[in-house]
């Protein structure tokens, strides 16, 4: 599987919010990469997690865990609060890369995560609940400020998820949060690990097995991630729904793609091509109106 992916992704253009545009990069084994100064133990740990990722990839490819479609009502998608998504660059080259390898950590391309937030991880968000306007005159000044911060964070989150800005050339990929593989990956959220490590260190060994602890402590450098450890704090309304998933998320788990039709007319022109890249995904616009339906597989998923 690794060889098949590396063959398809040689000298490609990689785009991302933190990366900018990187040209002529190639997908490669992280464990064997010469781009990182790793110890033999770290390479062994990464090699094990590469195998885990590629095995999950293969099982999804073989349809062992069928993808649950996003519900559609009267021609519009119905997306629940908590649905995982990722803001991606609105380019065909980026989508091709994701469709082949998945939404993967930049380290697969020999590039260390640039923000020092979570090494060897890819990043997701979850759709937040709308926070309506209220008469907050009876609230204290501190409570008013917290409410407005929470409202602002929710609006920003939902604007990103549903591509409401006509001038920002990004799209949103949605992932099947009910799939057993996706549930497994979301339980590996590095930011949540850091929160538990900070608040209840005695619970780490009760919640996580040794393979996860070794990855986060010996490779992802958990002890020096004090900044990221704050992301899931109760009052960090912007980042409390962020997730950092080790290695990546296989492309089969994409069950929705939101495209702003005003900002990205060139993608609309190639919508059939995008639909072929992500056959499990419903493609919809900024008003949640369906543009392309997925092929629906009604088989029940197995347990992981």
pLDDT, tens digit, 9 for 90 and up, residues 289-299: 999 999 654 44
Q: Considering the chain, what percentage of its residues have pLDDT values greater than 90?
A: 76
| The predicted structure's pLDDT at residue 137 | 75
Question: What is the pLDDT at residue 135?
Answer: 78
Range of weakest confidence among 12-16, 101-105, 281-285:
12-16
Residue 297 covered by a domain = no
Per the structure, the count of domains in the chain is 1
pLDDT of residue 295: 66
Q: What is the pLDDT of residue 296?
A: 57
Residue 196 lies in a domain: yes
Task: Output the average pLDDT for the chain.
Answer: 91
Amino acid 168: pLDDT: 77
Please check whether residue 303 lies inside any domain of the structure. Answer: no
Note whether residue 215 is domain-resident.
yes
Q: Is 266 exposed, middle or buried (0-12, 13-18, 19+ CB in 10 A)?
A: exposed
Q: Is residue 62 part of a domain?
A: yes
Average pLDDT over every residue of 268-289: 96
In a domain, 302, yes or no: no
Residue 191 has pLDDT above 80, yes or no: yes
> Could you give the maximum distance between any two Cα atoms of the chain, in Å?
62
For range 198-205, the mean pLDDT = 96
> For residue range 102-128, what is the model confidence (pLDDT) as tens digits?
999 999 999 998 888 999 999 999 999
Question: Domain range holding 256?
Answer: 2-292
Q: Answer yes or no: is 300 within a domain.
A: no
């Amino acid at each position: 599987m690794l060889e098949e992916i590396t063959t398809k992704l040689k000298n490609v253009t990689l785009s991302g919010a933190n990366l900018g545009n990187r040209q002529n990069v190639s997908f490669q084994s992280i464990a064997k990469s010469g781009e990182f100064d790793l110890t033999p133990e770290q390479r062994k740990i990464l090699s094990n997690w590469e195998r885990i990722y590629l095995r999950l990839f293969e099982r999804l490819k073989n349809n062992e865990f069928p993808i649950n479609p996003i519900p559609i009502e009267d021609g519009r998608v119905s997306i629940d609060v908590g649905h995982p998504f990722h803001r991606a660059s609105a380019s065909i080259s980026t989508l091709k890369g994701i469709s082949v390898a998945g939404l993967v950590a930049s380290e697969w391309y020999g590039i260390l995560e640039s923000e020092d937030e979570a090494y060897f991880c890819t990043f997701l968000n979850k759709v937040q609940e709308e926070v309506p306007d209220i008469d907050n005159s009876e609230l204290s000044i501190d409570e008013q400020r917290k409410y407005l911060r929470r409202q602002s964070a929710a609006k920003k989150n939902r604007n990103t998820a549903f591509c409401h800005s006509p001038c920002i050339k990004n799209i949103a990929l949605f992932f099947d949060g009910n799939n057993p593989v996706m549930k497994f990956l979301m339980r590996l959220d590095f930011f949540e690990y850091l929160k538990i490590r900070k608040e209840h260190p005695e619970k780490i060994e009760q919640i996580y097995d040794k393979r996860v602890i070794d990855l986060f402590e010996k490779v992802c450098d958990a002890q020096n991630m004090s900044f990221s450890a704050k992301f899931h704090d109760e009052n960090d309304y912007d980042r409390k729904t962020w997730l950092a998933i080790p290695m990546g998320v296989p492309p089969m788990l994409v069950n929705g793609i939101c495209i702003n039709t005003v900002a990205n007319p060139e993608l609309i022109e190639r919508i059939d091509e995008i639909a072929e890249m992500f056959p499990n995904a419903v493609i919809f616009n900024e008003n949640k109106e369906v543009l392309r339906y997925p092929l629906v597989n009604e088989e029940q998923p197995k347990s992981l």
